[in-house]
Amino acid sequence: EDKVVQSPLSLVVHEGDTVTLNCSYEVTNFRSLLWYKQEKKAPTFLFMLTSSGIEKKSGRLSSILDKKELFSILNITATQTGDSAIYLCAVLKTSYDKVIFGPGTSLSVIP
């Protein structure tokens, strides 16, 4: 059965800290791994990772995929209170019809 696991499930940090969120997967016919940020309602897209070892960056956020070890990390440097959200990891299969989501990591950044 396809599975996406995230850790930790929740995390509290102080502003300015650097955090690393983990996502591991056991999915047949893997195509890409996706990261989303969900603040209150609708998740918003952050990254899509298809190739191993190529870091994607957007401001203070970066992510990398390891297809051999079947995991990805999402790094957030110099965290701000606006980074408080649920971060969702998901896997897109080669059949392109299903995206399998992990349970999410709830991040709280306190001043």
Partner 1 sequence: DGGITQSPKYLFRKEGQNVTLSCEQNLNHDAMYWYRQDPGQGLRLIYYSQIVNDFQKGDIAEGYSVSREKKESFPLTVTSAQKNPTAFYLCASSMTPRSATYEQYFGPGTRLTVT
Binding-site ranges for partner 1 (CB under 8 A): 4, 6, 9, 32, 34, 41-45, 48, 88, 90, 92, 96-104
CB nearer to partner 1: pick between 34 and 107: 34
Q: How far is the CB of 41 from partner 1 (least distance, A)?
A: 4
CB nearer to partner 1: pick between 50 and 75: 50
Maximum Cα–Cα distance across the chain: 44
Q: How far is the CB of 27 from partner 1 (least distance, A)?
A: 13
Closest by CA position to 32, among listed 91, 85, 96, 84: 91
Amino acid at 108: S
Q: Give CA angle at 16 (60, 65), nearest 5°.
A: 40
CB nearer to partner 1: pick between 17 and 48: 48
Q: How far is the CB of 63 from partner 1 (least distance, A)?
A: 15
Question: Is residue 101 within 8 Å of residue 5, measured between CB atoms?
Answer: no
